[in-house]
Amino acid sequence: MTSPQPLHLQIIDHIDEIEPSVWNALVTLSGGSVLCEHAFLKAFESSGSVATDTGWNPQHLLLWDTHGATTVDPTTATLVAAVPLYAKGHSYGEFVFDWAWADAYQRHGLQYYPKWLAAVPFTPVPGARLLTSDAHRTAAAQALLQWAKESKLSSLHVLYTNEADTAALCAAGCMPRKHTQFHWFNRGWADFETFLASLTQPKRKKIRAERRKVKDAGVTTKVFTGAELTSAHWDIFYRCYANTYHQRGNPPYLTPAFFEAVGATLSEHCVLALAYQDEQAIAASLLWLDTTNGQRRLYGRYWGALQHVDCLHFELAYYTPLEWALKNDIAVIEGGAQGEHKLARGFEPVQTQSAHWLAHPAFADAVERFLEQERRGIDQYMRGLNSPFRAEIGD
């Protein structure tokens, strides 16, 4: 019996070094989302939001079947796996926190950064990270670990993985980590009032009071998507987004060019909610629209305002998108990282996961013990959360 030819590992330092159709074929094959597609990842890089000088050095991993050749010829080789991969100089924009690990390394005179990160930048949305078929998932996980070990960096972190990727990565030598997010699931409600009626009385009262405050302030909202979006919409969105970052004393992660690129290439995946007062736009919330596993989904991510209106964040980031979702056959809204306050607004807790590998044996052992304790704590936390729905509706 002839042994299979070894696969060829290649690292590219810009997503544009691989043809979009070739990369996207693997996204489709893995059941991945638009957030892993070539155009979305390219927008981060071409806009300068993801670059070496921002602490994100693209080093995407490709795995080729060269059909016996010793070098990769894209005209004859077959790309069987890909991983969006970055050498990170910090831990910002990840939403899976390892600051304590980095601090421990530093206190012991060791260098934690740069580290390897396999993820969609600034996007805490679960999905495929090993872009490949079932047949090559094990090989992809092993190749990623092999690269991490040979590179001599401190660690590898694969964020917001799906079940299949987590299993393959842990079999290759990674440690699993659990997290909690809050997602909204469409239970077939006819409209927002029907949805409200399913919640417990205190939650219904709270939501109505919050919406009333916004209405009494003379604020109205409107949702735009696809061809409705204009450069003026993107301009006002960015002003709101950047202003909110600056108010918190931080520069925004993403540049205007990122949103311009996404608006130009992926507008059908953009859902923008704007708030108006006296016909002037004063706040904005941006969600990504996707279809995975036959379900239409919204990923809530970006928000900003030019002036404060009590409860406007809840209106624009949750209630207006929920109304839009009910009218547009959206099955799930993923609310991003953390946020127990979402439970009071009809979102439900779900567990997400990631996979981690540390090169230093003693630190790896310590982190493994920590993760075991953390998993038990998260399980206990999840069990202690109360459903937002009336008892007769159930979990």
Which whole-number Å values give the CA distances from 229 to 33, 37, 313, 319, in the listed order?
22, 21, 21, 21
Domain presence at residue 266: yes
What is the model's pLDDT at position 4? 58
What are 291-328's pLDDT values in tens digits? 998 999 999 989 999 999 999 999 999 999 999 999 99
Same domain, yes or no: 278 and 364:
no
The torsion angle over the Cα atoms of residues 168, 174, 175 and 176, rounded to 10 degrees, is -30
Domain presence at residue 335: no
What are 118-163's pLDDT values in tens digits? 999 999 999 999 999 999 999 999 999 999 999 999 999 999 999 9
Into how many domains does the chain fold?
2
Same domain, yes or no: 67 and 35:
yes
**Is the pLDDT score of 216 beyond 70?**
yes
Same domain, yes or no: 249 and 158:
no
What is the model's pLDDT at position 75? 85
Domain presence at residue 347: no
Same domain, yes or no: 90 and 71:
yes
Q: What is the pTM (predicted TM-score) of this model?
A: 0.95
What is the model's pLDDT at position 137? 98
Same domain, yes or no: 85 and 227:
no
What is the model's pLDDT at position 392? 65
Same domain, yes or no: 157 and 237:
no
Same domain, yes or no: 73 and 174:
yes
**Is the pLDDT score of 219 beyond 50?**
yes
What are 327-368's pLDDT values in tens digits? 999 999 999 887 889 999 999 999 999 999 999 999 999 999
What are 63-75's pLDDT values in tens digits? 999 998 888 888 8
Same domain, yes or no: 117 and 74:
yes
Instruction: Quote the CA–CA distance of 250 and 245 in Å, as a whole number.
Output: 5
Q: pLDDT grade, residue 2 (50/70/90)?
A: very low
What is the model's pLDDT at position 32? 81
Q: What is the CATH number of the domain that holds 272?
A: 3.40.630.30
Same domain, yes or no: 58 and 130:
yes
Q: pLDDT grade, residue 1 (50/70/90)?
A: very low
What is the model's pLDDT at position 3? 43
Same domain, yes or no: 227 and 365:
no
Domain presence at residue 89: yes
Instruction: Quote the CA–CA distance of 284 and 238 in Å, as a whole number.
Output: 9
What is the model's pLDDT at position 115? 98
Domain presence at residue 261: yes
Nearest to 287 by CA among 248, 318, 309, 256: 318
What is the model's pLDDT at position 393? 62
Q: pLDDT grade, residue 391 (50/70/90)?
A: confident
Domain presence at residue 391: no
Domain presence at residue 337: no
What are 243-271's pLDDT values in tens digits? 999 999 999 999 999 999 999 999 999 99
Q: How far is CA 107 from the centre of its chain?
A: 31
Same domain, yes or no: 32 and 129:
yes
Same domain, yes or no: 120 and 212:
no
Instruction: Residue 210: give the domain boundaries.
Output: 187-330
Average pLDDT value for residue range 220-241: 97
Domain presence at residue 340: no
Cβ atoms within 10 Å of 243's Cβ, excluding its own = 16
